[in-house]
Chain A
């Protein structure tokens, strides 16, 4: 599946099906993030049931603490 993440076209392996899979794929699963799929923010409880489709536009912003 090919989706657009933060403006870049990214080819994802078959194993990535949900928002939760996507965050794991980018090693962001242990971080707190805001995820937007096609301009809708996804609730954290829904990461595992929100499936992604070819061509989806995803924005991910994760929180960091340094300063």
Chain B
């Protein structure tokens, strides 16, 4: 028990002092997919004090190839990823406080987390740029570093954003990339995930032990299949006029919540509908109501699912609904109104 972290403490840049710092830190991980599970396991094994992990989805069979915390049981039970991750992480290291949130990482939700229990660092493990731009503004507003990471196919990319120091994601992108970029239609191999996780966790450890001078400071990308590796210094891209990190920030992505009530989930052939006002749903009552209509319902403590008109609908306790088998928001809304409205 006492030498649990001995190998990490023997690593000179961390040492016993660094280990104490790690144990006193709190990291917020946004997304519990491939990058999220990889990051979370690494932090928990490294002896972090606390992690908060937020995710809106549930475990499916197609996740098991690369999302390292999940098992066949989780997929069979359709457990929410945040819950399945927490259960596994607690078995790996019972000393770490693990907070799981089943829900959307909206501006409102993230601001709540910041006000209640401000983390020391945010890890990006999302699969879309909309959420990343929200993370970017949250990071600037609350002066917390965040680490961008993304991958598709055998390609990956990562960058550390330090408020007041480096350019932010808004400076780097200038515009929010549309559809094609975010949908993982090209598939993904697990080593690409692991490589991005390695870049994120290493920079995170430097931040957690406050070894700021060792940070990489470069935008890094690689393609493991094509045997390529690139790193670019991007300091010059920082803009004083940037609405997120410039001299007069307006944090534009923190006021966009209402626009994203209905969202097509990338690469999932699914639409998510989120009620305008957050209201928990009584899943037991809903199950009875649907059963009366002759609909067969499957249920666990966190969500309920059923098939109607050829589509599978999944209802979460926080009121969100996933309509599978369509990218058409109107069709999804019609089904929502017919069975759940």
Contact = CB atoms under 8 A, between A and B. Distances in A.
Interface residues of B, number: 44
Given A6-B229, A7-B229, A65 B127 contact: yes
Interface in B18-36: 31, 33-36
B230 A64 contact: no
A56 B196 CA distance: 29
Contacts of A7: 228-230
A6 B124 contact: no
B87 to A, nearest CB: 22
Contacts of B122: none
B173 interface: yes
A9 B166 CA distance: 31
Nearest to B31: A67
Contacts of B161: none
A32 B129 CA distance: 12
A32 B149 contact: no
A67 to B, nearest CB: 4
B233 to A, nearest CB: 8
B221 A62 contact: yes
Interface in A41-67: 41, 44, 59-67
A64 B229 CA distance: 15
B236 A64 contact: no
Nearest to A31: B181
B177 A31 contact: yes
Contacts of B172: 34, 63
Given A31-B177, A61-B219, A66 B230 contact: no
A22 to B, nearest CB: 14
Interface stretch (B94-102, B150-158, B274-282, B320-328): B150-158
Contacts of A64: 150-152, 155-157, 181-182
Interface in B182-215: 182-184, 188, 196
A66 B232 contact: no
B266 to A, nearest CB: 7
B63 interface: no
Nearest to B132: A65
Contact of A67 (B125, B175, B183): B125
The listed residue with most A CB atoms (<10 A of its CB), out of B35, B228, B230, is B230
Contacts of B230: 6-7, 59-61
Nearest to A43: B237
Given A65-B128, A67-B31, A44 B229 contact: no
A62 B173 CA distance: 10
A67 B124 contact: yes
A61 to B, nearest CB: 4
B183 to A, nearest CB: 8
A15 interface: no
A42 B177 CA distance: 19
Contacts of A65: 127-129, 132, 150, 152, 177, 181-183, 266
Given A6-B229, A34-B234, 4 more contacts: A65-B181, A65-B266, A67-B31, A67-B150
Interface of A: 6-8, 30-32, 34, 36, 41, 44, 59-67
17 contacts: A7-B230, A31-B180, A34-B232, A34-B234, A34-B237, A41-B236, A61-B157, A61-B232, A64-B155, A64-B181, A65-B128, A65-B132, A65-B266, A66-B151, A66-B182, A67-B34, A67-B196
